[in-house]
Amino acid sequence: MLLQTVRPNIVQAIRAYRVDDLMSAANDVGQHFLYANLTAAQSKQDVLDMIAEAFLFPLHFGKNLDALYDCMTDLVHKSGSQPGFVVVLEQLPDNPRFDREVREQLLDVFRDAADFWAERKIPFRCFYSFQ
């Protein structure tokens, strides 16, 4: 029920949603739930490393924004039909080593991934919060 109130292909602040509720909602509709707690991250590289580990990216993951996009789209798309995605990026850093510009670049990757999946009529919802 929760996911019916959220556009199917969007990147937005988590706001009033709880992580457990999003996970339950994803499970209820059979969608992938991808969660990364980024509390310990201080830099772009930290964020990419933690996302790669949390999302179980392959060892050859290039640890840059282009590689992140490839892992969130092409790699998954090639593995077969997908039911949809609920992604949570919790506690993105907010410091000089991960400033607003870097955060927007990261979120743009997820926005581009949402567009990629929208073209294939597959829901991709990404929620984020800041430290």
State the CATH number of the domain containing residue 52: 3.30.370.10
| pLDDT recorded at residue 104 | 96
pLDDT, tens digit (0-9, with 9 covering 90-100), for 22-46 = 999 999 999 999 999 999 999 999 9
| pLDDT recorded at residue 78 | 67
pTM of the predicted protein model = 0.94
| pLDDT recorded at residue 80 | 72
Residue 4 lies in a domain: no
pLDDT, tens digit (0-9, with 9 covering 90-100), for 42-92 = 999 999 999 999 999 988 889 899 999 999 998 776 677 889 999 999 999
Residue 5 lies in a domain: no
Q: Domain span at residue 52? A: 11-130
Residue 100 lies in a domain: yes
Long-range contacts of 62-66 (CB under 8 A, 24+ apart): 65/105, 65/106, 65/109
Number of domains present in the structure of the chain: 1
Contact 64, 48 (CB under 8 A): yes
